[in-house]
Structure 1
Amino acid sequence: MAHAYTPGLKVSERTTLHVRRQLPIAGKVDVNQGDTVSARDVVAEASIPGNVYPINLANQIGVSPADIQSCMLVNEGDPVEVGTVLGRSKGIFGLFKQSYASKTAGTLETVSKITGQIIIRGAPLPVQVLAYVPGQIIEVLPDHGVVIESTVSLIQGIFGIGGEQYGEIRMVCEKSNQPLTADLITADMRGQILIGGARMTNDAIEKAREVGASAVVSGGIDDQDLKTILGYDLGVAITGTEKIETTLIITEGFGDIGMAERTFELFKSRSGSLASVNGATQIRAGVMRPEVVIPIETAEKSNDVFEDGVFEGILEPGTLVRIIRDPYFGVIGRVAGLPAEPQVLGSGSKARVLEVEVNGEPPLTVPRANVEIIAG
């Protein structure tokens, strides 16, 4: 076989990125096709119905459900404030009346004479979708969002936590194999995207959070440090919604692993540039990569167009790949051959393999499932 398809990471100095920005529910799109937007412009917004607060008012004021309607002091659809008296019983001979004051604000939505229960709906929750990247609106998705085209440098990582953040690229480590430690982080890094080299230590992450850094990007992280930061074992198939102030992205994997030299040099060349980051990662079906997007201020588009999502490329001789399993974890090289027949591995099992040439050394033979493409 001359080639095969495999997922990979996009690490590109220059690409045209198409970003789809959508609301979770139908709403209002605030821009038009052809408009130019900046990263933090609101492109669409909606209101999600507020939280529901059920109250068994009949029990609270000591009446039967059938009598609840005649005891109401507020009508369906009326606004309710904290402390508003919702209902009052008739009492006995006008005495011993019981009242109930609302403990929440919102709107009285329903009153049931069958259960004696009322429902208060909290205030609508506003949802705004930002552009995320500067660029031009090339498509409007009616009532839901837009597609934005932007020329960028794009670096996808292996794993991340935390949501969308913005800031200036700041090189913290001098070399790609230098660990990111707390002593390298200073107070003037507030709001910046900090680029390390090898493993980001727990102390460095805590320091970055203390100074208010937008994000930290480095080669690796210890899984125990990740557990310490989150306070729990991460066992979900998708990240990005963690309640942390600083987004974290690793470009290579877990452990004391240096950032790929090519990736490090790309960050270095864009030092001082404004960028957008997103730590959201999906590690099962429908793979989603964490990313750093660095806009390029140019009117000239790249011929390389990348749709928002995951790169899947052709595995063929000459393709740049990274080995993602031991014993060669993290090694980067080029495909030298794709033997057609399955081969017996050291474990005794059979698998389709490929040969990876690294710095002119004799090729390494590894299973095809153990590599990912690094796309330029």
Structure 2
Amino acid sequence: MSELTTIRKERTIHFPGKVLVEEGDKVEPDTIVVRGVYNLRRLFFVEIADSLQITPAQINDYVLKEEGDDVEEGEILAKKRIFLAETAKRSSPVEGTVERISSTSGHIIIREREMDLEPRKVNVAEELGIQGNEIPRYMKKKVGEAVEKGGAIAELPLTAGFRLKQSISPIYGEIKSMDTETGEVVLQRPHEKIELKAGLPGEVEKVISEKGVIIKTRGYRIQGIIGFGKEAFGEVKCVEKIEDSLEGKIIISKKRIPGEELKLIKEKGARGIVLSESNVADIEELFGEEVYSGVTGKVDRGIVLLLLDGFGEKSMKEENWEFFMSLEGASAYLNGMTQIRAGVIRPELIISS
């Protein structure tokens, strides 16, 4: 089915981070090789054509910026003189970079600038003139929810003779906490902390600066026809019936497994399942939703499923089953990423020797 060979596996993240290992280091599957913080930068679609009363095809005649230019919040992006003393203008809603000027849709697309991730404190009670223990009554957003820069965190309703009082957010951020003693609310820019593990045992052959590593190992690389789920690693366990000791395992079965049993395997803590074939109904019962076969592996489904031979109900060939049985207990890495269209990507199973 596959020959024992030297395998090189790139383990990288798509944004700058800190590589935690060095060339020559030995790693295990759960060794963290790179750590980083992904600063979420949103895209803003700024409508230009309608604002200036022009056609999308005319947009380049009126824009003041080019693709790749940096812009400040409130900076004019495009303008058109309508009368002698009047000009139609469209400004940027955010600090960022112009990614695209579309003469098809009449929009300018801006990706917001990477912002400071330091938490910001706002004394809501002080701004509204209330006691700290009163702020929950007037909050417009809950802890865990996001608020735009300039948006209201909390507000006092209008009363006779008084203006509406608001506590305004100084940043686009998520409300992390609310202190009813001090009256402070803590905001922080949405971000994602990433820790990438080696996924398989081996040696760090190369460090890719700020991105990750290339790991060298000896083992078997097997490609499937289609996979579902992102990636997983664990110990190979060959089964002919469902057992209790499946926690953290990569399950390999000779026969097709019905949908309800696939769900049970997931519930028992298995990280991956390898089958010869399975049908769509069983797969959808496992994941609880409709599946698509054009591009897969982008969604974390809690378990990875790999089909060696595609859709169907056939059992695994005897020689293939014997091959996997000989590797019972070995360390396995499973990646469900599949792309059937241009630039074909096949799911893979790597079993270290």
**Which range, TM-score by smaller chain?**
0.5 to 0.7
How many correspondences in the alignment?
247
Q: 1:108 to 1:80 in 2, by over 3 A?
A: farther
Residues 221, 250 of structure 1: 8 Å contact kept:
yes
Does the alignment pair 1:152 with 2:219? yes
Does the alignment pair 1:46 with 2:36? yes
1:124 match: 191
1:261 match: 318
Q: 2: CA distance between counterparts of 1:82 and 1:295? A: 50
The Cα shift of 1:142 comes to 1.0
Q: 1:78 to 1:85 in 2, by over 3 A?
A: farther
Q: 2: CA distance between counterparts of 1:223 and 1:107? A: 38
Q: 1:143 to 1:88 in 2, by over 3 A?
A: same
SS across alignment from 1:189: coil
Q: 1: CA distance between counterparts of 2:3 and 2:351? A: 9
SS across alignment from 1:167: strand
Gaps of 5+ in 2: 43-92, 94-114, 131-136, 152-167, 174-187
Give the 5 Å matches for 1:115-194: 118-120=171-173, 121-122=188-189, 124-173=191-240, 184-194=241-251
Residues 168, 192 of structure 1: 8 Å contact kept:
yes
Q: 1:14 to 1:84 in 2, by over 3 A?
A: farther
Residue 85 of structure 1, aligned match among 124, 127, 136: 124
Residues 41, 130 of structure 1: 8 Å contact kept:
yes
Q: 2: CA distance between counterparts of 1:25 and 1:126? A: 11
Q: 1:243 to 1:131 in 2, by over 3 A?
A: closer
Provide TM-score, normalisation by structure 1: 0.57
Q: 1: CA distance between counterparts of 2:247 and 2:139? A: 49
1:242 match: 299
Residues 228, 336 of structure 2: 8 Å contact kept:
yes
Residue 19 of structure 1, aligned match among 6, 9, 22: 9
Q: 1:148 to 1:77 in 2, by over 3 A?
A: closer
The Cα shift of 1:154 comes to 2.0
Give the 5 Å matches for 1:325-336: none
2:142 match: 103
Q: 1:188 to 1:82 in 2, by over 3 A?
A: farther
Q: 2: CA distance between counterparts of 1:164 and 1:44? A: 16
Residues 260, 285 of structure 2: 8 Å contact kept:
no
Residues 12, 213 of structure 2: 8 Å contact kept:
yes
Residues 86, 99 of structure 1: 8 Å contact kept:
no
1:30 match: 20
The Cα shift of 1:25 comes to 0.4
Give the 5 Å matches for 1:203-222: 203-222=260-279
SS across alignment from 1:254: coil
Gaps of 5+ in 1: 1-10, 55-75, 92-97, 174-183, 297-376
**Alpha-carbon RMSD:** 3.6
Provide TM-score, normalisation by structure 2: 0.60
The Cα shift of 1:284 comes to 1.7
Q: 2: CA distance between counterparts of 1:18 and 1:29? A: 18
AA of the residue aligned to 2:37 = S
